[in-house]
Amino acid sequence: MKPFSERFGYTAPEPDVTIREDAPDVLRGSVSVAAGRAGLQPKEMRQIVCEALSEPTDPNNWSDPNVIDETNRLLENCHWFEVYEVIEHLAQALQRRPGRFGDRSPLDVFADSVNKVFRKAGIGWQLIGVEITMRGSEVFEQAVREGRDKLWSAGKQTTAKQLHEALQDLSRRPNPDITGAIQHALAALECISRDCAMTEDTLGDVVKRNRDLFPAPLGDVVAKMWGYSSNTGRHLLEGKEPTFEEAELMVGLSGVLCRYLARKHGAMQL
């Protein structure tokens, strides 16, 4: 049975994303609980965790409570990014596991539990399928991820692929590819802008020569984004490396603008 809040549609406001390069105790302690809810038995769970961390199992632990304690200690003491790798290993095992929990698979149950912790703790990651990917604000998710998927469905594969690559760059662990994310985000915007203007100009020139492409003064903002990406995404200057937050901003803005152009020119209905 679904929880009360899900049955009646009650939700609390999600905290802002404040955690990326860390795995707080609330997450470490919840992994084994989530895996247990999805049907993994303690010894099976320990085996997967040990394999993910390249750690041997303790042959002296054979009772379920001791095995769970061993698993939790491994999760408590590993590097922050290894926690997310363990989650992916558990997800892969559960993907192959038969059985259902009502209308949900074991992987669905596990992902729902883990993602709930991510959201409540303000952790900027999410489990999609069997992969941990970057999670942004609700607005970011709708603008970029949903926009990417709908652009793909509307036949704008190149634009969608560039947005996907930008998200992948932000999701790299333990070190995101900041400059790559900016490059791919602006490449997506350049691609759909060229398509709308029916030209092969660079994005900067497209904006200059097609003043009606964006409502004024938004075109000036796009031109400045292009200049910014040139300095930080393509021609990096010493001591001027962009931050993760700046890259996330550029990806988010590009996603919104790509959706705007697709809507304006009738490529998709959102």
- Domain range for 180: 138-264
Whether 255 and 221 map to the same domain: the answer is yes
Whether 112 and 163 map to the same domain: the answer is no
Looking at 108, 134, 160, the residue that finishes a domain is: 134
The pLDDT assigned to 239 comes to 56
Confidence grade of residue 123 (pLDDT, cut at 50, 70, 90): very high
Overall average pLDDT of the 137-141 stretch:
74
Whether 144 and 177 map to the same domain: the answer is yes
Is 3 part of any domain? no
The pLDDT assigned to 229 comes to 86
pLDDT of 270 strictly over 50: no
Burial, 257: exposed, middle or buried (Cβ in 10 Å; 0-12, 13-18, 19+)? buried
Is 269 part of any domain? no
Looking at 104, 134, 164, the residue that finishes a domain is: 134
Confidence grade of residue 6 (pLDDT, cut at 50, 70, 90): confident
Whether 147 and 223 map to the same domain: the answer is yes
Looking at 111, 134, 157, the residue that finishes a domain is: 134
Question: Could you give the percent of the chain with pLDDT greater than 70?
Answer: 94
Whether 95 and 118 map to the same domain: the answer is yes
For tokens 């990806």, name the residue.
Answer: 251
Whether 94 and 185 map to the same domain: the answer is no
The pLDDT assigned to 73 comes to 98
Is 125 part of any domain? yes
Whether 120 and 213 map to the same domain: the answer is no
pLDDT of 146 strictly over 80: no
Is 219 part of any domain? yes
Overall average pLDDT of the 100-116 stretch:
94
Among 5-9, 149-153, 229-233, the minimum mean pLDDT is found in 229-233
The pLDDT assigned to 71 comes to 98
Q: Looking at beta carbons, which pairs linking 193-198 to residues 24 or more positions away fall under 8 Å?
A: 193/222, 193/261, 195/156, 195/159, 195/265, 196/261, 196/264, 196/265
Is 189 part of any domain? yes
- Per the structure, how many domains does the chain have? 2
Residue of 171 and 270 predicted with greater confidence = 171
Whether 89 and 143 map to the same domain: the answer is no
Among 51-55, 73-77, 200-204, the minimum mean pLDDT is found in 200-204
Whether 103 and 124 map to the same domain: the answer is yes
Whether 143 and 25 map to the same domain: the answer is no
pLDDT of 268 strictly over 60: no
Overall average pLDDT of the 136-147 stretch:
77
Whether 256 and 158 map to the same domain: the answer is yes
pLDDT of 120 strictly over 50: yes
Whether 38 and 17 map to the same domain: the answer is yes
The whole-angstrom separation of Cα 270 and Cα 252 is 17
Could you give phi then psi for residue 23, rounded to 5 degrees? -130, 95
The pLDDT assigned to 113 comes to 96
Is 192 part of any domain? yes
Is 5 part of any domain? no
pLDDT of 5 strictly over 90: no
Is 22 part of any domain? yes
Going 106 to 107 to 110 to 116, the CA torsion angle's sign is negative
